[in-house]
Amino acid sequence: MKRVIYIVLFAVLSTMAFAQEQPYLCELGLQGGCGYYVGDAAAHIFMHPREAYGVHFRYKFTKRWAIQAKVSSQRIMGYDYTIRGEKLDTKWQNQLVNVDVMAEFNFFRFGDMHKHDSRIKPYTPYIFLGFGAGVNGVGTKDMHPLAYIPLGIGFKWKFSEHCGLNIAWQHNIYMMDNLENRETLDNKHQLNGWNWMNCDVTGMLTAGIVFEFAQAPKSCRICNW
C-alpha cells in the first residue's frame, strides 16, 4: 500500500513540475525609448533624438526562433537647408508610423529555467531581420507611404513566469530618400532607384515590458506533460 501511495505522490509531483515548465508560445509587449534619423539633414546617429514607442506581438516557434509583428511610431527632426546646401536656423519635424514583421534568432535557448535542460536560459541576446511599411508626415497634408527593411539586435530577460524585459536597437533602411518632406532635401541628387546607399535611415533604442500567454500543449497526454 505504501508503494502505491509513493507512486501516486511521485506522479502528482512530477505532473506539477513538468506543467510549470511548459513554455508559452505567444507574447504581447509595450516599448518606449528614443529614436533618430540619418539622412540629408543628419549625418550621424542620435543627432536629434526624439521619442519612439510601440506595441508588438511575438510568436515563438522554438527556443531559438520567433517571429514578431510590431506597430511603432517615432518623431524625426532636423535643420532646413538651402538648394546650395547652406544650413538654416529653422527646423522641420515629421511623425512616422510603421508596421513591420521580423524573424528573430536567439543566441541562447530562451525560456524558463529548466531543471532537465541546463542549456535553457531566462535571458538571451538576439538578432532580427524583416520587412515593413509605414506612413510619413502623419497629421499633415504631405503624408506618403514608406517601405523599409528593419534589422537590429536586442536582449531578452524573463524575470517571472509570465513577464519579461526586452531591450532592442532597431534600424529601418528605407527604400527612398524623402523622409524630410522638404523639396531641398528629398532626393536632391536624383539618386533614388539605383543607389540604395542614398536611402534615409531611422533607428530606435527602446526598452519594454512583455507578457507571455498561450501555454504550449503537453508533449505526453498519458503523463500530462
224 inside domain: no
Cβ atoms 72, 54 nearer than 8 A: yes
The SS3 assignment for 49 reads coil
Within a domain: 222? no
User: How many Å from the N-terminal Cα to the C-terminal Cα in the chain?
Assistant: 26
User: Residue 225 domain-assigned?
Assistant: no
Buried b / exposed e over 55-65, threshold 16 CB at 10 Å, is ebebebeebee
Residue 223 lies in a domain: no
Do the domain assignments include residue 156? yes
In a domain, 221, yes or no: no
Query: What CATH number should be reported for the domain holding residue 109?
Result: 2.40.160.20
- Considering its fold, how many domains does the chain have in total? 1
pTM, two decimals, is 0.81
Residue 14 lies in a domain: yes
Q: pLDDT by residue (tens digit) across 155-211?
A: 999 999 899 999 999 999 998 888 887 766 766 555 555 556 668 899 999 999 999
Q: Domain range spanning residue 58? A: 2-215
The mean pLDDT value of the chain amounts to 83
Q: Does 106 reside within a domain?
A: yes
Query: What does the pLDDT look like over 50-88, one tens digit per residue?
Result: 999 999 999 999 999 999 999 999 999 887 776 666 677
